Structure 1
């Protein structure tokens, strides 16, 4: 069988000619790109809730993250109730009436540091580089982290209250007093978490974030009225303890759960919350924009 190479070459040339690419002119390309209607830009609330849902989905895929809001609170309630109850109040049942609101504050305030750890981890993975290119409200990424963590704090509060009720905790303020105390604690925790987002952006590794967090949290929580009455402390220490934000918060939550209305402590707690957001919020966003 004989093949005419000249005819085959001509056919190939013709086929190649049909597939030849012609680049569009700049004006044609611009008209194509801008001809469609652009989708509306998401609102600040919508973007924040989306990133908050992202934080919740991370818990779904890594359920081990719930250990610090389940196992840790249970351990804290059991350990301090039976360790100090007999020595400080005569019995664990009596001591838990005073201890539980305080240990609730301590546990939630301490687990706020994991917000900074999560931020630092995402920075190391490079996902923030993508977030900064999106046409969204810039602070929504940070606000989303905090909103997702508020859910974790709520779970921890529910777990600790359930354990406390089993051990004999009976809040005189009833369900409304408990809900108001937890709500105030959530507001303060949301504000306090801005401190750790700043450290998450500022420090180089998650171990550094955890180390600095512990250096701040241990003195702040233990040097307070969570475990004992500050009046038993030396005068120079009382000056610090009585003006600590954790002391004000503990007094407010303890009073609300006891059916009282500690207006001064509530005002101090809300004032500290506002101050933390006003100071550390802008610093965090400045670091985020320059990271």
Structure 2
């Protein structure tokens, strides 16, 4: 397994991070533990979750993913596991999470991390991420900024000050963002440097062959500011595995949960998937990762952690 550094001298993480957001919905605890064990045996030391998981998010399963990961974590040497989780932000009608997150103020972030620590059965997380921005911005399939959607927001400086207190208390080691844009990353970096606050070491955004928005501005920002990319959804909800081409009703999130994959219900998606699958056939490899073509697959998609 190859390992990378997030930040200047921060976390040493495996180039592949184990995502967990199906645990507690599509995968029960026994299945989840088996998957986690397989990743561990392959040299993966980096595990990512979130307080709102599993997905689709609903009150009945809220927190199940962190609880499942926590029971597995108890069997592992904590100092060898790089554990990441995320705080849910405002404006997504998640009323069962802390009464509906109103923003990334100190009260919300403290309540969020303390709940995560209880479920994970640990006294700290290595990387704490803001799951999506507090402010209005396009995300989760939207691409255009709409100023008419402006709303009251917690200033980024106040968010960093709240995170700094949690770092000082030892509840988190490093901080990161997710589903962010260039403006947000630059603000987090600038304000941290100006005020001596924790500097973000990572950004977790979607990145795959049908979503390369990271390359349009964010790539340069993250390179120059030394912020690592944690690329999520590298197979586009399984579309790039090719399985839905062979069987449009194949088992998966897109067929199990109505309306869950709306971000991929766009005219050019199907032709793009077909073209990619054809390219894979011409190269004599599987569209998705397998034991026989892992290295080729990684060259196509890039590694999960993109750092300087």
Q: Give the TM-score normalised by structure 1.
A: 0.26
**Larger helix proportion, structure 1 or 2?**
1
Q: Give the TM-score normalised by structure 2.
A: 0.25
**Larger strand proportion, structure 1 or 2?**
2
